[in-house]
């Protein structure tokens, strides 16, 4: 039996998904935060569940990317960044499919 006791810190967001992760079993929400043409690094992206309850948060990578491993269903991706308004994006996630979200701040 393997039990992952690695932390809850956000993995490198632009890194390739590790080979041990079976994407067919995962429900991935992935996206990019941009301001105009520029990617926004270090923005805080929050994943809220169907009731609006907080589920997870990651900072965006140097290339503005973020990624969540969620469950099938309806989610809201909320983005916070310095000197920018909060932006919400609704997304429907499915198992075995990477749901892509583009966020413009």
Partner 1 sequence: MSRDSALVSADWAEKNLETPGVVFVEVDEDTTAYDGGHIPGAIKLDWKKDLQDPVRRDFVNRQQFQALLSARGIGNDDTVVLYGGNNNWFAAYAYWYFKLYGHGDVKLLDGGRKKWELDNRALTTETVSRPTTSYSATEQDLSIRAFRDDVVAAIGTQNLVDVRSPDEYAGRLLAPAHLPQEQAQRPGHVPTAISVPWSKAANEDGTFKSDDELRKIYAEAGLDDSKDTIAYCRIGERSSHTWFVLQELLGHARVKNYDGSWTEYGSLVGVPVALGDEPGEG
Closest to 53 measured CA to CA, from 36, 73, 24 = 73
Rg (CA), the chain: 14
Which of 15, 42, 90, 92 touches partner 1 (CB under 8 A)?
42
List 14, 30, 55, 76, residue binding partner 1 (CB under 8 A): 55
Instruction: Examine residue 5 and tell whether it contacts partner 1 (CB under 8 A).
Output: yes
User: CA-to-CA distance for 54 and 32, rounded, in angstroms?
Assistant: 20
* Helix boundaries (H) for 3-91: none
Write the CB contacts of 7 (distance below 8 Å, at least 6 apart in sequence).
Answer: none
Determine if 87 is a binding residue for partner 1 (CB under 8 A). Answer: no
56 sits near partner 1 (criterion: CB under 8 A)? yes
Residues in the site for partner 1, rule: CB under 8 A? Answer: 1-12, 17-18, 20-22, 25-27, 29, 42, 44, 46-47, 49, 51, 53-59, 67-71, 78, 80-83, 86
């Amino acid at each position: 039996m393997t039990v992952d006791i690695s932390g809850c810190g956000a993995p490198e967001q632009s890194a390739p998904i590790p080979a041990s992760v079976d994407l067919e079993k995962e429900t991935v929400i992935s996206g990019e935060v941009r301001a105009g043409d520029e990617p926004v690094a270090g923005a805080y992206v929050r994943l809220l569940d169907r009731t609006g309850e907080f589920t997870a948060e990651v900072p965006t990578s140097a290339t503005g990317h973020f990624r969540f491993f969620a469950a099938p269903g309806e989610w809201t991706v909320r983005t916070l960044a310095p000197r920018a308004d909060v932006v919400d994006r609704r997304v429907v996630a499915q198992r075995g499919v990477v749901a892509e979200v583009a966020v413009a701040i």
